[in-house]
Amino acid sequence: MKKRIFSGMRPTGRLHIGNYLGALKNWVQLQDEFDCIYCVVDIHALTSVEDTSNLSTLTHEMVLDIMAAGIDPEKSILFIQSRVPEVAELNTFLGMITPLSWLLRVPTFKEKVKLQPHNVNYGLVGYPVLMAADILLYRAEVVPVGQDQMPHLELTREIVRRFNAQFGPTFPEPEGRLTNFPVVLGLDGGKMSKQTGNMIELAISEEETARKIMGAVTDPSRRYRSDPGNPDICNVYRLHGYFNTAEVDEIGQRCRRAAIGCVDCKKKLAEMLNKELAPMRLRRRELEARPEYAKQVLKEGAEKARVLASNTMSEVRDRIGLI
């Protein structure tokens, strides 16, 4: 029996190469080792997205990116969070046993308060409870997490211990599978993020990818082609480390002795990045040409997820004593 893994992504913007390196590539690899449940967590997005007019489009686009990257519906369950309403019910029950003090101390809550002081909503503080509901509804045993998400998972484990102690053994305590999520910097040198727009989206064309890379910041002290560069502070060089592993060392050496110019260096990166993304972009075009297929995958994914969810909820209601 394979262990079950759960992971979700919030549809707050188009997926970019940072998401690809940090999560999607990992999701694809985990499919052979685990019984995988992958979810586009659109309810979570509501904690920070105020204008929802674009939410269904972003959700749809994210599904296409995920499938194009190689998530195989024959191996994994892929669905939209809100299509399984049992998650809201479990969220409510778990909320009744989670002390507010646990939630107020979560570092990401404090960060979010700073980021959106005008919109500190109830869902924002309860975010880790909804996350726990996502994981526990499917009795996932493993959750891929970056170091910064460990406090969330530890909170899920605390909720499990409390629930099991109060109502009897019901949920497994999920383990974190620590994943090395590389911090991929954006084209302006800041963190690549959907919010800032400094990113290279997976679904853009080869030409657009090359155009964006040509505009990326490099070593700011290298003003002329004849100046030696410092690859250690250059984001283009860092990206060569992910997408051009065979040549990255040589490029670093050539940069230091001014044997390569930034234009040629960026052209090479664009070529290598486009090469890596080419199969994904081809699959995406095929998926776009068959819109009914993705809808069918999501429908079947939600049906399979609901079978698991409804079994869990029957037991949960029984344990709690609800008639």
Q: Is 260 in the site for ligand SF4 (CB under 6 A)?
A: yes
Contacting range for ligand SF4; rule: CB under 6 A; set: 22-30, 68-76, 93-101, 233-241? 233-241
Integer angstrom CA distances of residue 55 from 13, 17, 49, 200, 303: 9, 21, 8, 20, 22
Active site residue 191: yes
Give the binding range for ligand SF4 (CB under 6 A) out of 107-115, 129-137, 259-267, 288-296: 259-267
Out of 39, 64, 234, 294, point to the residue binding ligand SF4 (CB under 6 A): 234
3-state secondary structure of 36: strand
Residue 212 annotated in active site: no
Does the active-site annotation cover 266? Answer: no
Task: Build a one-symbol-per-residue string for 266-295: x at contacts with ligand SF4 by CB under 6 A, - elsewhere.
Answer: x-----------------------------
User: For 7, which DSSP code?
Assistant: E
What is the footprint of ligand SF4 within residues 209-228 (CB under 6 A)? 218-219, 222
The Cα–Cα gap between 110 and 108 comes to: 5
The DSSP secondary structure of 69-126, one letter per residue, reads HT--TTTSEEEEGGG-THHHHHHHHHHHHS-HHHHHT-HHHHHHHHH-GGG--HHHHT
Choose one: 12-20, 81-89, 196-204, 255-263; the region binding ligand SF4 (CB under 6 A). 255-263
Which tokens belong to 142? Answer: 């493993």
Handedness of CA 107, 110, 115, 118 (dihedral sign): positive
Q: Based on the shown chain and the rule CB under 6 A, indicate whether residue 187 belongs to the binding site for ligand SF4.
A: no
231 contributes a contact to ligand SF4 by CB under 6 A: yes
Q: How far apart are CA 54 and CA 36, in angstroms?
A: 28
**Chain residues that interact with ligand SF4, rule: CB under 6 A:** 218-219, 222, 229, 231, 234, 236-237, 255, 260, 262, 265-266
Q: Which residues are catalytic?
A: 112, 191, 194
